[in-house]
Amino acid sequence: MNHEDLRIWSKKAADWIADYHAGLSDRPVRAQTTQGATAAQLPANAPEKPEALEDIFADFEAIVPNAMTHWQHPRFFAYFPSHASPASMLAEQLANAMSAMCMLWQTSPAGTEIEEQMILWLRDALGLADHFTGTIHDSATTCTLSAVLTMRDRAMDWTSITQGLTGGPRLRIYASAQTHSSIDKSVRLAGIGQDNLVKIPTTDDHGIDPEALDAAIKADIAAGYKPAGVILCTGGTSIGAMDPIAAGLAVAKSHDLYTHVDAAWAGTAMICPEFRYLWEGIDAADSLVFNPYKGMGVQFDGAIQFLRDATPQIRSLGLRPDYLETLDMDEVTNFNEWTVPLGRRFRALKIWFTLRAYGLEGLRQMIRNHVAWVKELEAKLATHPDFTITTPATLALFSFQYTPKEGDANALTAKLLAAVNNDGRVYLTQTMHEGQFVIRMAGAAFDSKQSDVMMVYDVVTELCQTL
């Protein structure tokens, strides 16, 4: 296959893509396949001789789509949405075609400068203060890892960069029990150790208790530990918990600790001013992350990390060997010094396309619709005698349980969820909340309509009668 063939096959792929999206609504959302079924259709070894694109494409059509869970389906309400707007997909094709490494300014000047500008556009769109700069990582996990590495090295007075942690004080990181597992992972990867991630109790509204945070830090100092940082969340993954950001950051600052806020999901909603009360005080954070793929149309991969001051993180992550020096230029941004990997994709292009193709007004309207429709579904489900709202909607996420008069609600809810996902009209997932098995409703997909969201009511109230 050569580049002339690519011209032909790209056009065929474009038609396939349009048909795929037009037909998504008729497919079951979750893959209706069994374990090993796809693998069984693949030969044991790679071919020795070139194969015809006709055959490769035909196999793709026969094997792949039916064994996929369709994340762009308008009734995908599982986990969190992972949007891919048409404008984003188009930009990804172009970035793909250039396949540049955006690690240094000179390896991709437009990549670096569009990335810098998109960070500023997004900072202003989210209503963040002018002191923030930032960069694009692959995922929220990597943003959080970068912040934890910075916390670690700053607390070690930067000796850890050359000498490691051996013989040093025992570091501590603080977060609530509602934070995402990426925080646990980051603390492990940073060599701080899971046991030194202190999970602070939450108040009745599931946000971190600032007094308990302060008390835990003081107790650790008295016991000889070295506190390094505090991680707060705006929108916990399980049920959308919101930490009190201003109070949490104030406690951290009073102990001179580095701070990071995980707003991977809820951050996208902050392009709407009416939701910003949920992270009141955010401008005092040293670092924060949000994922524009979770509800703002810009597809994975890509997570935005805003930094109050990039210098400490560059001190932790930046390395400049001779072969990466930019000769005769001092003042350029080399984003690899801000991030864990060296190689970096041109992720800013899809942000540029998406923000321009829909405008902030268009994206705000989508987010407002999703929140309104999910709240409407919540209200309707609340009127049904056999359903209980277990956690109310924060933004476009709530949880519920099937609670008929007779029977074990946990077991019945699990059975209902299996029936719903085998049915295929909608896709929902579960979490454990205060010992209860609950179903999460997380809306919505880029192409969802109000009727798609409301169909959840029809499907769950219909299928609960079949259990």
Ligand X SMILES: *Cc1c(COP(=O)(O)O)cnc(C)c1O
Edge-to-edge strands of the sheet including 171-176?
133-137, 303-307, 287-290, 258-262, 226-233, 171-176, 197-200
Nearest approach, Cβ of residue 136 and ligand X (Å): 12
CB closer to ligand X, 227 vs 235: 235
431 backbone dihedrals φ, ψ, rounded to 5°? -150, 165
Query: Any idea how long the chain is?
Result: 467
> Cα–Cα distance between 67 and 77 in angstroms, integer?
18
Least Å distance, CB 236 to ligand X, is 6
Q: Using the minimum distance from each CB to ligand X, give the nearer residue, 160 or 305.
A: 305
Q: How far apart are CB 182 and ligand X at their closest, in Å?
A: 4
SS (H, E, C) 208-254: ECHHHHHHHHHHHHHCCCEEEEEEEEECCCCCCCECCHHHHHHHHHH
Q: What is 380-439 written as a DSSP string?
A: HHHTSTTEEEEEEEETTEEEEEE--SSS-HHHHHHHHHHHHHHH-SSB-EEEEETTEEEE
- Alpha-carbon distances of 273 from 52, 128, 146, 269, 357, rounded to whole Å: 53, 11, 28, 9, 21
Cβ 404 vs Cβ 390: under 8 Å: no
For ligand X, give the closer residue by CB, 285 or 455. Answer: 285
CB of 120 to ligand X, least distance (A): 22
CB of 234 to ligand X, least distance (A): 8
Nearest CA to 399 out of 383, 377, 419, 418 is that of 377
Q: Which residue number, 242 or 366, has a Cβ lying nearer to ligand X?
A: 242
DSSP-derived letter for residue 377 is H
- Peptide bond just before 301 cis, omega within 30 deg: yes
Binding site for ligand X (CB under 6 A): 80, 139-141, 180, 182, 233, 235, 237, 262, 264-265, 291, 303
Q: Tokens for 64?
A: 């792949």
User: What is the closest distance, in whole angstroms, from the C-beta atom of residue 418 to ligand X in the complex?
Assistant: 24
Report the nearest approach of ligand X to the CB of residue 201 (Å): 19
In the complex with ligand X, the residue whose CB is nearer, 80 or 387, is 80
For ligand X, the closer CB: 241 or 272: 241
Smallest gap from Cβ 240 to ligand X, in A, equals 9
Nearer to ligand X, 162 or 181 (CB): 181
Judged by beta carbon, residue 108 or residue 141, the one nearer ligand X is 141
